[in-house]
C-alpha cells in the first residue's frame, strides 16, 4: 500500500486508509498530490497477525522518481483490474452517463482512475480528437490524485483519441479551485469512489466539498443515490471469527488466551469486515428479511453523521451473531439503472455476479450474540460517520464485563484479525501446536539428560 504526499503537506486521516476492497490503491489515490515539489512515499505495511499497520517513509525526488520496483506491479496486485473487468458495473455507468449527458455540459469526474467514466461522458457529448467528433461547448475534467494512475490514464486517453478532449488534473478534488483548475462549476458529477462499506473511500467528505466548491446548485450526478441494506444472521462460523473467549471455553486443553473477566482483552476491530458471504452461505441462517438502513442522495450535500433505528421482525428463531450489509446504487434519477453488491440469496436487481473489488460487509455482535424468537421484533440502531457505519442491537445486546480484576480489558486490548481469532480458537490447530511443543520439549529433555 503506497501513498504520495508533498513533503510539506501534513499527513491527514484518509477516508480510504484500510479499504479492503481496493487494497493499497484506494488509499494512494485519496492522499497523493501531483505537484512538482519533493515528495515522500508513505508505504503502508500490514501486520498479518494483528491487522494493524505502520508507515514506512521513502523519499522521492521532485521528478516523481521512486526507488526502482516501488510501483512495479502495484496496480496489478490490487483489485483495480477486477473492477475494470466488471462488465455489469461498466454497462450500468455507461447507460446512466448517456442519459445524464444528453446535451453539452460541464462534467467533473472525481477519482477518475484510468479515465473510463470520463471517456464515457466525452463520447456522450460527441467530444473526441478524431475529425468525426464535432466540437461544442461541453467539457470533461478528470480529477485523479494518484500519479502512477494519472500517467496510465493519459496513455489510455491517447489510445482512444481523447487526450485533447479531456482535461486531466493530478490533484485531490479538495485541491481543485474554480477559476484556476476549472473555468466554472460543473453541471454533472460522475464519480465512483465506493468501497464495500460504501463510505470508506471518502464519499461523504468528497461530496461535501464538491457541492460546496465545485458543482452548480442541483447538479446531475452519476450515481444518483445509494441505499444500504442489512440482514440479521446466525452463524457459528462468523461467531468463531471474533469471540475467542467463549470459543476457547469449549476447548478442553486447559489453555486460556483470554482470562475470565477479561473477555475484551483480545478481539477484532469494531468495524465492518468485507467478506464474500456467498462463499459461506451454508454456514449462515437468515433470521430476518432484508431491511433498509441508510440512503445517500449524491445530488444533495450529505451530512457527516447520521443515525437511524430500524425495527426488525425475526423470520426464525436463533442467535443473532452478525449483521450482514450491502448497498445498491441507483445510477439514474428515473430508477431504471441499478447496481448491487447484495449476496446471491437476495433477489434485488443486478445482484449475484461475483467480483472481488466489492464484497458484502459483516458486523459482529459481541459475545455469543443475541437470542431471538420467531416473530419477535428487535431494534437495530445504525450510525454513520464520514467514513464508516456501525450497528447496535437494542436493548439487549450483550456487553462484556471487566470483572473484579485490577486490570480492565480496556486498559490492554490486543486487536487481531478475524482470521487470526478463528485460528487461535480452533481446537484441532491448538492440539497440533500443543503436541508439536510436547515433542520438542521431550527431545530437548532427552538431549539434556544425554549430555549430563
Respond yes or no: is residue 201 known to be catalytic.
yes
Domain contains 171 = yes
159 and 238 assigned to the same domain: no
356 and 408 assigned to the same domain: yes
183 and 110 assigned to the same domain: yes
Give one DSSP letter per residue of 263-311, joined into a string: TTSEE--SS-EEE-GGGGGGG-EE-B--EEEEEEETTSPPPS-EEEEEE
Give the end of a domain, one of 224, 245, 267. 224
Domain contains 343 = yes
Domain contains 433 = no
CATH of the domain at 191: 3.40.50.150
Of 105-114, 339-348, 440-449, the poorest mean pLDDT is in 339-348
Task: Report how far residue 211's alpha carbon sits from residue 207's, in angstroms, rounded to the nearest whole number.
Answer: 6
Of 157-161, 305-309, 324-328, 426-430, the poorest mean pLDDT is in 426-430
286 and 391 assigned to the same domain: yes
Of 33, 36, 3, 4, which Cα lies nearest the Cα of 17? 3
Domain contains 443 = no
CATH of the domain at 374: 2.70.160.11
Domain that holds residue 39: 2-79
Domain contains 38 = yes
Domain contains 447 = no
286 and 238 assigned to the same domain: yes
Output the pLDDT for position 4. 30
Output the pLDDT for position 116. 96
Count of the separate structural domains present in the chain: 3
| Number of other residues whose CB lies within 10 A of the CB of residue 437 | 10
233 and 303 assigned to the same domain: yes
Domain contains 297 = yes
46 and 88 assigned to the same domain: no
245 and 216 assigned to the same domain: no
H helix or E strand, kind and range, residue 232: strand 225-234
Averaged pLDDT score across all residues of the chain: 82
Segment 404-413, tens digit of pLDDT: 334 444 456 8
Segment 235-291, tens digit of pLDDT: 999 999 999 998 888 888 888 888 888 888 888 988 999 999 999 999 999 999 999
Of 231-235, 383-387, 413-417, the poorest mean pLDDT is in 413-417
Output the pLDDT for position 251. 86
Catalytic pick among 60, 144, 197, 201: 201
- Say if residue 251 is exposed, middle or buried (CB neighbours under 10 Å; 0-12, 13-18, 19+): middle
Domain contains 450 = no
Output the pLDDT for position 451. 81
> Looking at the predicted structure, is the pLDDT value of residue 335 above 90?
yes
Respond yes or no: is residue 59 known to be catalytic.
no
Which carries the bigger pLDDT value, residue 69 or residue 224? 224
Strand duo 322-330 + 53-60: pairing: unpaired
Of 190-199, 250-259, 379-388, 437-446, the poorest mean pLDDT is in 250-259
Name residue 189's beta-bridge partners: 108, 221
Task: Report how far residue 205's alpha carbon sits from residue 211's, in angstroms, rounded to the nearest whole number.
Answer: 10
Give the end of a domain, one of 224, 259, 282. 224
Output the pLDDT for position 354. 64
Angle, vertex CA 437, rays to CA 436 and CA 443, nearest 5: 95
> Looking at the predicted structure, is the pLDDT value of residue 28 above 80?
no
72 and 90 assigned to the same domain: no
401 and 338 assigned to the same domain: yes
Model pTM? 0.80
135 and 211 assigned to the same domain: yes
Output the pLDDT for position 7. 29
> Looking at the predicted structure, is the pLDDT value of residue 23 above 60?
no
Give the residue-averaged pLDDT of 165-183: 96
Catalytic pick among 144, 192, 234, 263: 192
97 and 50 assigned to the same domain: no
Radius of gyration for the chain, computed over Cα atoms and rounded to the nearest angstrom: 25
Task: Report how far residue 418's alpha carbon sits from residue 364's, in angstroms, rounded to the nearest whole number.
Answer: 10
Output the pLDDT for position 330. 98
Output the pLDDT for position 310. 97
Of 109-118, 211-220, 246-255, the poorest mean pLDDT is in 246-255
Give the end of a domain, one of 224, 250, 271. 224
Amino acid at each position: 500500500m503506497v501513498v504520495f504526499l508533498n513533503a510539506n503537506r501534513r499527513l491527514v486521516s484518509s477516508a480510504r486508509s484500510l479499504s479492503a476492497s481496493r487494497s493499497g490503491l484506494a488509499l494512494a489515490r485519496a492522499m497523493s498530490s501531483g505537484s512538482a515539489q519533493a515528495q515522500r512515499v508513505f508505504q503502508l505495511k500490514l501486520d498479518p497477525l494483528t491487522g494493524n499497520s505502520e508507515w514506512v517513509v521513502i523519499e522521492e525526488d521532485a521528478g516523481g522518481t521512486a526507488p526502482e520496483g516501488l510501483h512495479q506491479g502495484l496496480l496489478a496486485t490490487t483489485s483495480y483490474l477486477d473492477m475494470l473487468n466488471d462488465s455489469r458495473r461498466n454497462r450500468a455507468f455507461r447507460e446512466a452517463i448517456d442519459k445524464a449527458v444528453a446535451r453539452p455540459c460541464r462534467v467533473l469526474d472525481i477519482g477518475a482512475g484510468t479515465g473510463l467514466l470520463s471517456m464515457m461522458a466525452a463520447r456522450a457529448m460527441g467530444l473526441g480528437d478524431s475529425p468525426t467528433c464535432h466540437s461544442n461547448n461541453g467539457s470533461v475534467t478528470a480529477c485523479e490524485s494518484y500519479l502512477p494512475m494519472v500517467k496510465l490514464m493519459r496513455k489510455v486517453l491517447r489510445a482512444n483519441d481523447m487526450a485533447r478532449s479531456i482535461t486531466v488534473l493530478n490533484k485531490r478534488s479538495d485541491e481543485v479551485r474554480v477559476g484556476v483548475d476549472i473555468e466554472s462549476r460543473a453541471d454533472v458529477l460522475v464519480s465512483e469512489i465506493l468501497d464495500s462499506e460504501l463510505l470508506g473511500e471518502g464519499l461523504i467528505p468528497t461530496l461535501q466539498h464538491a457541492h460546496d466548491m465545485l458543482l452548480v446548485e442541483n447538479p446531475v450526478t452519476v450515481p444518483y443515490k445509494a441505499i444500504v441494506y442489512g440482514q440479521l444472521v446466525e452463524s457459528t462460523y462468523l461467531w468463531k471469527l471474533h469471540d475467542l473467549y467463549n470459543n476457547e471455553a469449549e476447548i478442553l486443553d486447559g489453555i486460556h488466551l483470554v482470562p475470565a473477566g477479561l473477555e475484551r482483552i483480545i478481539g477484532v476491530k469494531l468495524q465492518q469486515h468485507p467478506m464474500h458471504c456467498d462463499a459461506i452461505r451454508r454456514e449462515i441462517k437468515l433470521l430476518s428479511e432484508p431491511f433498509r438502513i441508510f440512503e445517500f442522495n449524491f445530488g444533495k450535500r450529505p451530512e457527516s453523521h447520521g443515525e437511524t433505528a430500524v425495527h426488525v421482525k425475526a423470520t426464525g428463531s436463533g442467535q443473532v451473531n452478525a449483521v450482514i450489509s450491502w448497498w445498491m446504487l441507483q445510477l439514474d434519477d428515473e430508477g431504471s439503472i441499478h447496481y448491487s453488491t447484495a449476496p446471491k440469496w437476495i433477489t434485488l436487481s443486478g445482484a449475484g455476479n461475483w467480483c472481488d473489488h466489492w464484497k458484502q460487509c459483516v458486523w459482529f455482535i459481541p459475545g455469543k450474540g443475541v437470542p431471538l424468537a420467531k416473530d419477535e421484533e428487535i431494534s437495530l440502531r445504525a450510525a454513520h460517520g464520514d467514513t464508516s457505519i456501525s450497528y447496535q442491537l437494542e436493548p439487549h445486546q450483550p456487553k462484556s464485563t471487566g470483572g473484579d480484576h485490577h486490570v480492565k480489558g480496556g486498559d490492554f486490548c490486543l486487536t487481531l484479525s478475524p482470521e487470526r481469532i478463528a485460528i487461535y480458537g480452533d481446537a484441532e490447530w491448538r492440539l497440533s501446536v500443543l503436541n508439536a511443543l510436547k515433542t520438542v520439549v521431550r527431545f530437548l529433555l532427552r538431549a539434556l539428560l544425554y549430555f549430563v
